[in-house]
Structure 1
Amino acid sequence: METLMDIYAARVAAGTLREDPAQVAVLPLLERVRADLAQQPVKKGLLSLIGGRKKPEAVQGLYLWGGVGRGKSMLMDLFYDHAPVPARRVHFHAFMQEVQGGIEAARKAGTADAIAPVVEKIAQDIRLLCFDEMQITDIADAMIVGRLFEGLFAKGVTVVTTSNRVPDDLYKDGLNRQLFLPFIEIIKQRLEVHHLHSPVDYRQGRLTGTPVYFHPVTPDVRATMDDIWNDLTGGATESLTLKVKGRDVVLPKFHNGIARATFWDLCGQMFGPGDYLVIADAVKLLILEDIPRLTRNNFNEAKRFVTLIDALYEAKVRTVCSAVDEPERLYIEGAGAFEFERTASRLREMQDKDWGEDAE
């Protein structure tokens, strides 16, 4: 059987990948999980004696962490595409929103243990869960992940995940974090933890020499934004819905930490700082299109835009923009024009080719 190392080498030879020693070091770890899943026998027990079937136990998975753009998601996709068992690949944020929805439905139905039916439903059809970008920022998620994952492992589900954080830094400084610490121990016991320590940020590299702020918005600029999206994501079309205090915050296009949205998608709705913090936490690169002229006529939208840029700036989210004009000329009259000078300055700083490269 062709190994992941063989597949990676073939892609390097074909010129679709650039060989990276840090990535190559991960391949045997993923191949070990793949082989264990393929060879895992059905556990003998009472069910086998009466002709029934029992799912194999979960094998040791992998927790792959490291900086943005190092190839974690690419490696996981390579593994997922050649998984030998029924599998699902999902962004961790989206998965936890599904779980919270399932728990809420179970509670409404009067189920005493609301997590149990959620675990059962997930484990029915898969033996492998591949998560992109595991991170815990919501206390509701923090309080249930321990029991959730214990249940999944008990049902024979193996987990492979990427993250920008070492396990010990998950939910760092979070409310009631001491209640979350047992989950970190579960991760360390059930998943092999590996740091992908590459010095190269390939996501930044693909933008090197490419402008990241375009004005005015012309058909050629729109085509360029399409090209950037297609180059970074392969033309992905899926969306991501983030739940923030019961509200839906939708990123119309999202893939491997890269999002694409218009100004009106993110600033034309009544979003606040909390919404933008969640967006900044979920996204590592944002393509933001169609930023209009900002005046007293769209003052509320302008305020939201300032808050959005602040959140992206503080989180070191790489941002590609298309706008009606240069940053300094977006908001030149009306209440808030003076305060916008800081936002314009940040937009300028965020255009630097090295900006955000130290973000983890």
Structure 2
Amino acid sequence: MVIRLSERWPEVSSDRLLSECVPPPRFADVRFSTYRPAPDEPSQADALAVLTSRAVGLAKPRQAPSLWSRLRGRTEDPGKPGVYLDGGFGVGKTHLLASLWHEAAGPKMYCTFVELTNLVGALGLRTAVEALSSYRLICIDEFELDDPGDTMLISRLLGQLVAAGVELAATSNTLPDKLGEGRFQAIDFLREIQALSGHFDVRRIDGPDYRHRGLPVAPEPWPDAQVETVAAERANASCDHFVDLHRHLAELHPSKYGALLDGVDTVAITDIRPLTDENVALRLVVLADRMYDRNLPLLAGGVPLDQLFSADMLKGGYRKKYLRALSRLIALANAGMVPETSTVVP
């Protein structure tokens, strides 16, 4: 029986949200020893050395300062509580971030920035701070500021966690003091952005950026009837009309998009149409990320996937999000076109 994602209403507990904050399957086995810095890019070896050094301290459980040190006061510079890896796609930032998480003692957390904001939105700021203040390390992949609300929320969250002794690690394609540019009036939130930047020791990782190579070619979409037929033949496949699906996503908190895919092995979508609404597009970006994390092949009907986002969207402030989503959806669609699928190549 074909699954209809648009008819599902998952409920997700706070315990599940926290328990799922681990590296995705494709990074479950990475370690510092499996990272191969490019010989002609010394910044990659430098970043490896910095994170390896941090991992030594993080491998030990967090300890409260002794009474003597509290009485004396701290005279030495403890250094910044976080490290921030800035660089293009495909230079190994996520590999290094996941490796650091694997080395650290628990409790620890690994999530994308979007997952973090969704988590705080679902739990509430106070509950999130209470739940995370005892953590040894929080790793945040794809750090980005999309709107003023995110800026205020994450600034307060990380400020309170750092004060509680939590260490941070993050990756991004944007330097901390440039976050928010092109997306909102970042100058109006300069204090919050500077506060976020102040938590991190920034390390630049150089290397070829996938955007210079262009997006992979989108496969030719199937007729809707073929999408429905193949979905019916595959075990645990979902099949939804594009409009039904994106309208349903608007009624769910994004923290539930992962649970929406529980028990699904293939996602089929008919009548995919070009998007002009930024809100709809951003919800689909989140769904694409959850599908990609789970290596779910995509059966796509309608327009070719490289026509999903408008030209204006691909030139706007969310450009990097849309390019990442297109790259991932195209990879999943290519996997969906063969009868037997294997792990999607990142």
TM-score with structure 2 setting the length: 0.57
| Structure 2 Cα separation of the partners of residues 116 and 197 of structure 1 | 38
SS of corresponding position for 2:174: coil
Q: Are 1:33 and 2:42 counterparts?
A: no
Please show how residues 136-147 of structure 1 align to structure 2 within 5 Å: 136-147=145-156
The 1:202–1:273 alpha-carbon spacing in structure 2 relative to 1, beyond 3 Å, is closer
SS class of match (2:279): helix
Task: Tell me: CA distance 1:167–1:18, structure 2 relative to 1, closer, same or farther (3 Å).
Answer: closer
| Structure 1 pair 305–29 and aligned structure 2 pair: CA distance change class (3 A) | closer
CA contact (8 A) 2:148 2:184 kept: yes
Distance 1:202 1:173 in 2: 18
Shift of residue 69 of structure 1? 1.8
Aligned to 1:190: 199
Letter in 2 for 1:121: A
2:278 matched to which residue of 1? 273
Corresponding residue for residue 122 of structure 1 = 132
Q: Structure 2 unaligned segments of length 5 or more: list them.
A: 1-30, 72-77, 231-245, 260-265, 335-346
In the alignment, residue 140 of structure 1 is paired with which amino acid? G
Distance 2:69 2:86 in 1: 39
User: Which protein, 1 or 2, shows the higher relative CO under an 8 Å CA cutoff with sep ≥ 6?
Assistant: 2
The residue that corresponds to 2:24 in the other structure is none
Consecutive unaligned residues of structure 1, counting only runs of 5 or more, are 1-6, 50-56, 104-114, 223-240, 254-259, 295-301, 324-360
Q: Deviations over 1:97-116 (max 9, x none)?
A: 1112222xxxxxxxxxxx44
Task: Report matched runs for 1:26-105 at 5 Å.
Answer: 26-38=47-59, 41-45=63-67, 60-103=81-124
In 1: Cα distance, 2:159 partner to 2:299 partner: 45
Report the CA distance shift for 1:173/1:8 in structure 2 as closer, same or farther (over 3 A): closer
Please give the alpha-carbon distance, in whole angstroms, between the structure 2 residues aligned to 1:132 and 1:291.
Answer: 28
1:281-324 per-position Cα deviation (integer Å, ceiling 9, x unaligned) = 99789788323257xxxxxxx9x99654657754334351749x
Contact 2:142 2:170 in 1 (8 A): yes
CA distance in 1, matches of 2:308, 2:85: 32
How is 1:83-232 mapped onto 2 (pairs within 5 angstroms)?
A: 83-103=104-124, 115-124=125-134, 126-175=135-184, 177-199=186-208, 201=210, 212-214=218-220
Q: For the Cα contact (< 8 Å) 1:127–1:157, is it kept in 2?
A: yes
Q: Deviations over 1:131-159 (max 9, x none)?
A: 11111103221222222111000111111
Map Cα deviations across residues 139-192 of structure 1 (whole Å, 9 max, x no partner): 221222222111000111111001111112211144453453223323333211
- With normalisation by structure 1, the TM-score equals 0.55
Report the RMSD for the aligned CA atoms in angstroms. Answer: 4.9
1:186–1:117 Cα change, 3 Å: same
For residues 23-46 of structure 1, what are the alpha-carbon distances to aligned partners after superposition, in whole Å with 9 as ceiling and x for unaligned?
Answer: 322111112322233466530239
> Are the equivalent residues in 2 in contact too, given 1:36–1:59 (CA < 8 A)?
no
- Identical aligned pairs, as a percentage? 20
Are the aligned partners of 1:168 and 1:184 in contact in 2 as well (CA < 8 Å)? yes
d(CA) in 2 for partners of 1:196 and 1:283? 26
- Structure 1 residues 215, 245: closer, same or farther in 2, change over 3 A? closer
Q: Is it true that 1:290 corresponds to 2:299 in the alignment?
A: yes
Q: Distance in 1 between matches of 2:145 and 2:65?
A: 33
| Structure 1 pair 306–8 and aligned structure 2 pair: CA distance change class (3 A) | closer
